[in-house]
Structure formats: structure tokens, C-alpha cells
Structure 1
Amino acid sequence: MAVVRCNQGHYYDDEKFSRCPHCGIFAGVEEKKNKNADKKGFFSAFTRTKDDSKTVAKHESNYTDNRPMEDTVTVSLESVEKAPVKKPSDDGKTIGMFSAAKGNDYVTGWLVCIDGVEKGRDFRIRHGFNWIGRDYDMDVILQCDISVSRQKHCAIVYDDRGNSFSIVPNAGNELYKNGEPIHEPEKIKTGDVIQVGMQRYEFIAFCREGREWEKE
């Protein structure tokens, strides 16, 4: 795994994506809406005469639809019940180097809040990209700090090949390591202090020189 920067300044994992996923190249095509709906049936309008007790038909339509009928298919309930159910496929999905049973979800390090409203709380770091933000779909959720972006404020990346960690800024969000601003990916080690938003976190590596999860 390597942290790659695209022409627009986005960082991504080149093992998971052949091209930058942030540039919108994988955006789906919007479904086209039908502008005109078919109108079917017979229409007749009625109006009342001066004599309220009588209703006279103003127009009667003998409209006949001469369009060819579409072929119809009859399916029995029995055949539907016996039809095999297609199971979800892994096609198009990114599969991690480790399966869940082989360590893809194993802890590799921690962020421990040492200053701020989350003081004393720890956040686990795992293999690959660990995106930090306020939304619930982030890997590290910092919901209490409104100065943190909802989506992908920054990321901490564990590279299993090099058994090393990096901090990766994103979209111009403010990020500091040991009091210095970060504008490019930088290596981090145990004891480094990372400031994300208004809070400071100390990084602690579980995987380090002489200790890493074995690949099964």
C-alpha cells in the first residue's frame, strides 16, 4: 500500500483504487426521468342542462386503441418460489489484504486525547486508511469537536508492508504534528502529538519495530 496524491491534491490508497476516488470519477449516472406519461382509457365529459334534474352527455368517445399488444408472460407461483436467489457478489468490491479472520480488523495503534472535551478517551487505529471526521461512517469519529470536518478531515494510515504509520491531511483542513502544521503526508511514531480541530491526541503504536501481526 502506498499513499498517492492525484492532480487535484487528494490522497488515496493505490492498492484499493486505480484512480482518485475523490474526483468524482466513480459517480453514477443520474437516472433519466420520463417527461411524458402515457394516458390511457376512455374520456367522457358531462354537463348539466338548465333543468337540474337531467344530466345530458356532452361527448361520448368510442376510442379504440389499435396499437399492438405487448407480449405477456405468465409465471406460476411455484416457479417463483423455486427460483434460486442470487447471492450478493464481491465483484467491484475492494478486498483487504487481510480477511476479518486474518487480521484486517486487528488494532495497530491508538490515538489518546490528552487535551480537549474528549480528554482521556482512546481511538483505535487499524490496517490501511483510518479516516477521521465527525460523521458516523468515519473510522475515527470526533463528534464532539465541531471544528473537525464531517467527512475525511484527515487520515492515519498503517502500512503493513513497511510496518509504519503516516498522518495524511485532506482538503486543506488544519492539522498539526508536535505543534507544526502538516501539508503533506508525514511519518508518525509513538509519542507524537497530533492536533485535529481543537483537541490534541498522543499517538501510540502497537505495531512497531519487532512487533507486527503475522499474515496468515
Structure 2
Amino acid sequence: MEIKSKPVECPNGHYYNAALHASCPICAGAQGSGAFAPTEAPGQMGGGVGSFQPTEAPNRSGSGAFAPTEAPGQMGGYAGGVTVPVGSWNAGVVADPFERETSIGGDLTADGQVEPVVGWLVCVDGPVRGTDFRIHAGYNYIGRESGDIHIHGDQQISRQNHAMIAFDSSELTYYVGPSAGRNLIKVNGKTVLNAVEIHSYDVISIGTTKLMFVALCGEHFRWDVENSHE
């Protein structure tokens, strides 16, 4: 004769035949093998014995989880993780460590002494009309953005080393000539292909800019002779 009995539900939600088993055989088998009780459905936080919270989705900062690896080229912790392109710190030409810029009050030499001015270029026509530029002994390179003399705003002048003006302190002579610029330069309206000697009030044309030259040193004054102006 077959004995029928109503299935009994254990505390962990398993159903078993009480006529055949004194306790839940599923729970008893799990405890004997060291396995955990069934995990609850994802998203539920039950209070059952042995239940765990579901594992968080990838890329979330859960307990024991690692932060996602940053994409190549990113700088973690810097400016909110913004990617900094290689070379973006200085997109222009690397600065020449020996480059000298014209400054008000006289330039300083390596030993901290003021480097004497030997003449001037005065812009009489062009974007910087009315501006004067100091000339020093040796080579003075002219460019739109870098060099000894900067003529800003004239797009027909190369960024650097378009032309040069030089002073020979031993001969007390001044010269001007082309350097690495693409456009020609002129002195008093005549094209200059090589360095030529210049004198006070000569007009040098570079791009759309005209520069009047004014000399300081010469027959009446020179820096290497004390009290030469007396």
C-alpha cells in the first residue's frame, strides 16, 4: 500500500516528503558537502541563512572589486582623467636656449651686465608702426614670433630667422641681409640677396613692414672707448 503525504517546505524553500525524510535532504546534503545554501534572486536582499548579495555589475566600485583600467594615453588622477595628447604641451618649435629677446631697459649678458645697445630699427609702416627695436653687437635675427627682434602681426614675415641685422664692433659697420625667410627683403627699395652695409636712415622693407635704421656707434661714439662721446 502506497503512503501519500503532503510535501513539506523547509526553511530554505525546499520541498521534501516528510514520510521518507525526517529533515530536508537537500539542506542536509549541502551541509555535508560544504556547499552554500541557494543564492537568492539577483537584486533581492533576503535574510536567509547563507545568502549573499549578488555580485555587482562590471565597472562598479563594489567591495573587493578593482577599478577599471584606464585607456592608454590617459593620466589617472590628473585633471579629472582628461587625456593629454603627446606633444600638446608645446606644439611649436622648441625654443632656442640661446635665443635673446629685446627688452625695455637693456638686455643682460651672462654675467648680469647690461648689453649695450648699438642702434635701433624703427617701424615707420606696417602692423607695429611706431615701435622701436634695439640692435646689439653681433647678429640680430628678425622674425614674426621669435628671435632678437619680433615683428608681430605681419604674416609675410617668417616666424623666425626671416632676416638678420649685424654690427661689427671692430669696424663700426652695420649690415643687413636675408636669413631663412621665403619672402625677399629690400633696402631703400632695392632687393637684397646677400648682406649689404647700411647707414642711418636707410629703410629696410620686410613683408609689409618698413623699418628705418638708426645707428648709435660710429665716428662720434663707441662703447669700447671710455668717454668717447666727449
What's the TM-score once normalised by structure 2's chain length? 0.48
Within the alignment, does 1:211 sit opposite 2:221 as a pair? yes
**1:118 matched residue in structure 2:** 128
Of 159, 179, 186 in structure 2, the residue corresponding to residue 150 of structure 1 is 159
Task: Confirm or deny: 8 A CA contact 2:128 2:152 kept in the other structure.
Answer: no
Corresponding position of 1:174: 184
Q: CA RMSD in A?
A: 2.5
Q: Structure 2: where are the runs of 5+ without partners?
A: 1-96, 99-107
Query: Which of the residues 124, 135, 148 maps onto 1:139?
Result: 148
Query: Structure 1: 5+ residue runs without aligned partners?
Result: 1-92
Please state how far the C-alpha of 1:102 moved relative to its aligned partner: 9.3
Would you say the 8 A contact 2:140–2:148 is kept in 1? Answer: yes
How many equivalent pairs are there?
Answer: 120
The Cα offsets for residues 62-118 of structure 1, whole Å up to 9 and x where unpaired, read as xxxxxxxxxxxxxxxxxxxxxxxxxxxxxxx99xxx955697721000010111121
Please report the TM-score for the alignment, with normalisation by the length of structure 1: 0.51
> What's the counterpart of residue 198 of structure 2?
188
Residue 113 of structure 1 contacts residue 200 of structure 1 at CA under 8 Å; is this kept in 2?
A: yes
- Distance in 2 of aligned mates of 1:108 and 1:102: 18
**Contact 2:140/2:165 (CA < 8 Å) preserved in 1?**
yes
Q: Secondary structure at the match of 1:129?
A: strand
Contact kept in structure 2, 1:152 and 1:170, CA below 8 Å = yes
Distance (Å, rounded) in 2 between the aligned partners of 1:155 and 1:170? 6
Aligned counterparts of 1:173 and 1:127: Cα–Cα separation in 2: 25
Q: How does 1:40-189 map to 2 (within 5 A)?
A: 105-136=115-146, 138-171=147-180, 172-189=182-199
Q: Distance in 1 between matches of 2:199 and 2:113?
A: 21
- What is the CA–CA distance in structure 1 between the aligned matches of 2:176 and 2:122, rounded to whole Å? 15
The answer to whether the 8 Å contact 1:102/1:215 transfers is: no
Identity of aligned residues (%): 36
Greater share of strand: 1
Separation in structure 2 between the aligned mates of residue 180 and residue 103 of structure 1, nearest angstrom: 38
- Flag the structure with larger Rg: 2
2:11 aligns with none
Per-residue deviation at 1:143? 1.6
**Contact 2:156 2:183 (8 Å CA) reproduced:** no
- Select the structure with the greater relative contact order (CA < 8 A; seq sep ≥ 6): 1
CA–CA distance in structure 2, aligned partners of residues 99 and 140 of structure 1: 17
- Output one character per residue of 1:145-173: Cα deviation in whole Å (capped at 9) or x when no partner: 11100110000001111011000212353
